[in-house]
Amino acid sequence: MTGKTLMHTQPAHTEVELTRSAEAIAELEQAFQAKIDADIKIEPKDWMPQAYRQSLVRQISQHAHSEIVGMLPEGNWLTRAPSLGRKLILLAKVQDEAGHGLYLYSAAETLGASREALIEALHAGKAKYSSIFNYPTLTWADVGAIGWLVDGAALINQIPLCRCSYGPYARAMRRICKEESFHQRQGYEIMLTLCRGTAAQKRMAQDALNRWWWPSLMMLGPPDAESSHTQQSMRWKIKRHTNDALRQKFVDQSVPQADYLRLAPPDPKLKWNEQTGHYEFGAIDWNEFWRVLKGDGPCNRERIEARRRAYDEGRWIREAALAFGAKQARRARGAD
């Protein structure tokens, strides 16, 4: 990004900030936290601490980027879906993800960020997106596994966000969660069909579970001890539960679903603990998580390259649309 920052369309009232006294700011912060504690939503025009704004822009834009990059692994099977019905369902699903990206970029815009700047940060490798989309989709079963596990983990992450303190984000999440829940059931239904099918189909299904299981567990974020944003985000009610609590919930939910499919998650240490009422599971390879996050997953380069190419090759189209819009406006004013 040259000469641009993510916040270049910052609303004017934050500039007033510089002239406020420390006491005045402390008072505003207190009132802000009191609202949060009383579960009153923060709206775009309300005063908010700069760090709250930045934290939300980071989180919402990461989420938006994940939706857009996430279109690629599933989009990889759009042209090869095994029936017309499956093609339509997958197409509608990937389209929903584009729609989620749109609402989320719009939610980020209410905080003063611009869609274009956020996208450029993604392309420049400065913004993150969910690491799971750096894994490849090798067979049709991956489309099922992504719906079941990846959308399942996403939902567990996202349902609490429907109660997030920032109004526009919470409202976007309510709609997104409804659609994600539908996607998850569709994914599971693909798995069910495969598991009731031929030996080759069952093999595909088990192989997809083997490859997506651990990355899905990692999707709930680093362990609480290493999560840099958790504490502050919880105080601001941007985040409602810790990563480890959400991960346990995901495992507890997914293991019986795998049992029903007669598939085995690739974890020899997985076992039900009668006393805690939870499943115990083996150690997660966090080295893999950090490695993929830092850019060395199987598909990091091609995912960003695909996004960048689409954006660069589409530039003349966007420019033409803008130029035409400007011409129309001039004509309407009678200048042409």
Partner 1 sequence: MNQRQALYEYLLRLGDNALILGQRLTEWIGHAPALEEELGSANIALDLIGQARGWLAYAGAVEGTGRDEDALALQRDVLDFRNALLVEQPNGHYGDTIARQYLFDAFHYPLLEALSGCADQYIAAIAAKSCKEAGYHRRRSAEWMIRLGDGTAESHAKLQRSVDTLWPYTGELFAMDEIDRTLQSAGVAADLAGVGRTWDEDVAHTLKTATLQRPAAGWMQSGGKQGRHSEQLGYILAEMQFLPRAYPDAHW
User: With CB under 8 A, what is the number of residues at the site for partner 1?
Assistant: 47
Q: Which is nearer to partner 1, 269 or 315 (CB)?
A: 315
Residue 12 near residue 125, CB atoms below 8 Å: no
Give all strands (DSSP E) within 211-291, no chain letters: 271-273, 278-280
CB nearer partner 1, residue 50 or residue 328? 328
By CB under 8 A, the residues from 33 to 72 that bind partner 1 are 68, 71-72
Residue with smaller CB distance to partner 1, 48 or 194: 194
Q: Which stretch binds partner 1 (CB under 8 A): 31-39, 77-85, 155-163, 173-181?
A: 77-85
CA angle at 164 for the pair 163 and 169, rounded to the nearest 5°: 110
| Residue found under tokens 């009731």 | 196
Stretch that binds partner 1, among 222-230, 248-256, 274-282, 310-318 (CB under 8 A): 310-318
Please pick, from the candidates 7, 28, 91, 177, the single residue that binds partner 1 as defined by CB under 8 A: 91
Contact between 78 and partner 1 (CB under 8 A)? yes
Q: Which residues, numbered 127-186, are part of the site for partner 1 (CB under 8 A)?
A: 140
Q: Assess contact for 101 and 68: CB atoms under 8 A.
A: yes
Of the two residues 144 and 221, which places its CB atom closer to partner 1 in the complex? 144
Long-range contacts of 291-295 (CB under 8 A, 24+ apart): 292/131, 292/134, 292/135, 292/215, 293/128, 293/131, 295/125
Q: Which is nearer to partner 1, 47 or 311 (CB)?
A: 311
Report if residue 88 touches partner 1, rule: CB under 8 A: yes
Pick one of 1, 24, 51, 92: the residue that binds partner 1 (CB under 8 A).
92
What mask, x for binding partner 1 by CB under 8 A, covers residues 95 to 134? Answer: x--xx-xx--x-----------------------------
175 CB neighbour count, 10 Å cutoff: 14
Q: Which residues of 226-238 are buried (b: 16+ CB within 10 A; e: fewer)?
A: eeeebeebeebbb
Distance, in Å, from the CA atom of 10 to the CA atom of 12, rounded to the nearest integer, reads 6
Residue from 7, 177, 270, 306 binding partner 1 (CB under 8 A)? 306
State the minimum distance, in angstroms, from the CB of residue 68 to partner 1. 7
Contacting residue, 114, 201, 210, 227, with partner 1 by CB under 8 A: 201
Establish if 323 lies at the interface with partner 1 (CB under 8 A).
yes
> Which has the closest alpha carbon to 209: 144, 285, 290?
144
Output b/e per residue, 100-109; b: 16+ Cβ within 10 A: bbebbbebbb
Cα dihedral 237, 66, 172, 43, rounded to 10, equals 50
Nearer to partner 1, 38 or 199 (CB): 199
Residue among 1, 327, 329, 330 that touches partner 1 (CB under 8 A): 327
AA letter at 37: D
Contacting residues for 227 by C-beta, under 8 A, at least 6 apart = 221, 242, 243
Q: How far is the CB of 62 from partner 1 (least distance, A)?
A: 16
158, 103 Cβ separation under 8 angstroms: no
Binding site for partner 1 (CB under 8 A): 68, 71-72, 75, 78-88, 91-92, 94-95, 98-99, 101-102, 105, 140, 193-194, 197-198, 200-201, 306, 309-311, 313-321, 323-324, 327
